């Protein structure tokens, strides 16, 4: 309690006065809300809890929106006439739009001193809680259901082992097995979370609008009912027919596993650059497009375009070790993933259990991956001339880093090195990637290695403004007397 009190003294909790006159005096159109949340399961839970709180107090939600770390705030507008609420997103806009946010709750770390000073008079707060849902409940004095909290916290922290859930459950939505498990609710949440299709903005927002209470089973029920109409078959004999949510999700996971593994069933462990380049560099010396994940010393590298995330990748590698597709006795320390021009590294096991943690040239041990990635970005800026501050997004930085002990990310690595020297005209993304592999794998990788392929997941048209925002009228409303099926009825 003392620690929480200190945080509150430094940073007053955001307020949501129920008096309409208060909002009218702020220039708002009464108690009309635009509600924005992160596009993951914690964001969904938090938005449902926020929506219930608002509706119970006479607010009206006229727009719903999703935020993600690829677009950040680049494609989202804020209307000063409405009460703008932002949940479970690590970043404020960082520009003039900051003053348009009327309520902000997040749990991804705490504000630094500069941010504390910038936002000290603003209705924004970061809480050091396992999930944004818990942070919201704390701030609004909402009683917390421990069963709900355990599911959300397990999913958002990815602490499956800590909750006694096998990593293999993430890729195996077997309801009969799950029903018979003593941890049925947790196993169900772990498996169902992998069905979440983040690109399906319409369905996620319709689920948030319709779900009455924060229940993993209720969210699943609404997802099953709302998903098909938003996801018809686009080709083949079933063209025009609506897809079944569970069947389609299982098919997507199957494709993801195939892409992540590649064609080679047995995986080779590369213990030198020469060994790796012999298999994967082309005639011009570039690293060619990789066939699935590759093992480099103590690190597994997942190339872009596989649909894998850190949790899926970890589960796949563990399964391949169990099935003897990786040499006996091998266990990686880290998994490095590329999503377009973003790099993310996570530990394979708990960081505290790794005996041979990497030691950098300055003598420091890599025992926190969030700090490692932030330090790496800072070094590239200060020592190598990487500069990404020129951006049309309006944010302070286009390239940002962060994370915690077991996972670290550098988002949006852009451009080509223009500094005179050995790296001139190289893609910054390649240099960052080579450095991370060299630091964490135990295999010295040349920083000048060039990688073939696009920096982006897709080369489609640039997203439209507010492409992840919908008015309430654009979202379907299901009958209010609709019965939610119990878990044992699935």
The Cα 110–Cα 91 span in angstroms is 11
Q: How high is the mean pLDDT of the chain?
A: 89
How is residue 145 annotated by DSSP?
P
- Residue 482's pLDDT band (boundaries 50, 70, 90)? low
**352 phi and psi, to 5 degrees?**
-70, -15
Average pLDDT over every residue of 195-203: 94
Burial of 440 (0-12, 13-18, 19+ CB in 10 A): buried
Question: What pLDDT shows up at residue 368?
Answer: 92
Q: Which residues, in sequence order, are bridge partners of residue 83? A: 33
H or E element at residue 369: helix 369-384
**311 phi and psi, to 5 degrees?**
-70, -45
Average pLDDT over every residue of 69-94: 91
Average pLDDT over every residue of 463-467: 93
CB 345 within 8 A of CB 436: yes
The Cα 263–Cα 281 span in angstroms is 18
The pair of three-digit structure tokens given for residue 25, joined into one six-digit string: 């005096």
CB 159 within 8 A of CB 193: no
DSSP string, 308-339: --HHHHHHHHHHHHHTT-B-TT---SEEEEEE
Task: Give the model confidence (pLDDT) of 153-189 as tens digits.
Answer: 999 888 898 899 999 999 999 999 999 999 999 999 9
User: How many other β-carbons are positioned within 10 Å of the β-carbon of residue 85?
Assistant: 25
Task: Give the model confidence (pLDDT) of 235-265 as tens digits.
Answer: 999 999 999 999 999 999 999 999 999 998 8
451 Ramachandran zone, left/alpha/beta (phi>0; psi -120 to 50): beta
Q: Which residues, in sequence order, are bridge partners of residue 287? A: 281, 451
Residue 393 has pLDDT above 80, yes or no: no
CB 144 within 8 A of CB 137: yes
Task: Give the model confidence (pLDDT) of 14-43 as tens digits.
Answer: 789 999 999 999 999 999 999 999 999 999
Residue 13 has pLDDT above 80, yes or no: no
Could you tell me which residues come within 8 angstroms of residue 382 by beta carbon, excluding any fewer than 6 positions away?
none
């Amino acid at each position: 309690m003392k620690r929480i009190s200190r945080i509150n003294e430094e940073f007053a909790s955001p307020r949501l006065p129920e008096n309409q006159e208060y909002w009218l005096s702020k220039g708002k159109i009464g108690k009309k809300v635009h509600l924005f949340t992160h596009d993951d399961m914690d964001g969904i839970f938090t938005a449902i809890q926020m929506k219930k709180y608002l509706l119970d107090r006479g607010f009206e939600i006229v727009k719903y929106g999703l935020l993600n770390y690829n677009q950040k705030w680049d494609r989202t507008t804020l209307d000063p006439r409405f009460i703008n609420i932002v949940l479970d997103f690590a970043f404020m806009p960082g520009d003039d739009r900051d003053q348009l946010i009327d309520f902000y709750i997040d749990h991804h770390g705490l504000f630094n001193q500069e941010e504390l000073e910038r936002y000290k008079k603003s209705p924004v707060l970061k809480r050091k809680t396992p999930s944004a849902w818990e942070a919201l409940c704390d701030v609004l004095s909402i009683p917390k259901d421990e069963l709900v909290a355990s599911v959300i916290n397990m999913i958002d922290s990815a602490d499956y082992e800590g909750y006694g859930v096998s990593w293999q459950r993430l890729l195996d939505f077997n309801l009969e097995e799950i029903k018979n498990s003593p941890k049925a609710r947790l196993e169900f949440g772990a498996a169902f979370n992998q069905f979440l299709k983040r690109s399906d903005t319409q369905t996620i927002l319709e689920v948030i609008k319709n779900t009455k209470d924060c229940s993993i089973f209720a969210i699943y029920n609404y997802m099953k009912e709302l998903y098909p109409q938003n996801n018809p078959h686009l080709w083949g004999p079933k063209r025009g027919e609506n897809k079944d949510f569970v069947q389609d999700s299982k098919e997507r996971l199957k494709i993801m596993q195939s892409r992540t593994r590649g064609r080679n069933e047995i995986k080779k462990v590369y213990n030198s650059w020469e060994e790796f380049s012999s298999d994967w560099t082309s005639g011009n010396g570039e690293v060619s497009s990789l066939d699935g994940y590759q093992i480099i010393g103590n690190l597994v590298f997942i190339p872009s375009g596989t649909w894998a995330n850190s949790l899926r990748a970890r589960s796949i590698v563990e399964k391949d070790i169990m099935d003897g597709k990786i040499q006996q006795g091998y266990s990686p320390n880290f998994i490095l993933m590329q999503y377009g021009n973003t790099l993310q590294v996570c530990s394979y096991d708990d960081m505290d259990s790794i005996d041979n943690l990497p030691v950098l040239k300055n003598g420091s041990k890599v025992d926190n991956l969030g700090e490692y990635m932030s330090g790496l970005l800072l070094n590239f800026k200060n020592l190598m001339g990487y500069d990404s501050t020129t951006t049309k997004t309006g944010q302070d930085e286009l390239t940002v880093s962060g994370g915690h002990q077991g996972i670290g990310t550098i988002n949006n690595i852009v451009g080509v090195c223009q500094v005179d020297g050995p790296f001139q005209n190289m893609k910054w993304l390649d240099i960052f990637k080579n450095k991370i592999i060299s630091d964490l794998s135990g295999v010295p990788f040349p920083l000048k290695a060039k990688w073939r392929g696009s920096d982006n997941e897709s080369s489609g048209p640039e997203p439209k403004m507010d492409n992840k925002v919908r008015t309430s009228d654009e979202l379907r409303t299901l009958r209010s007397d609709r019965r939610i099926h119990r878990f044992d009825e699935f």
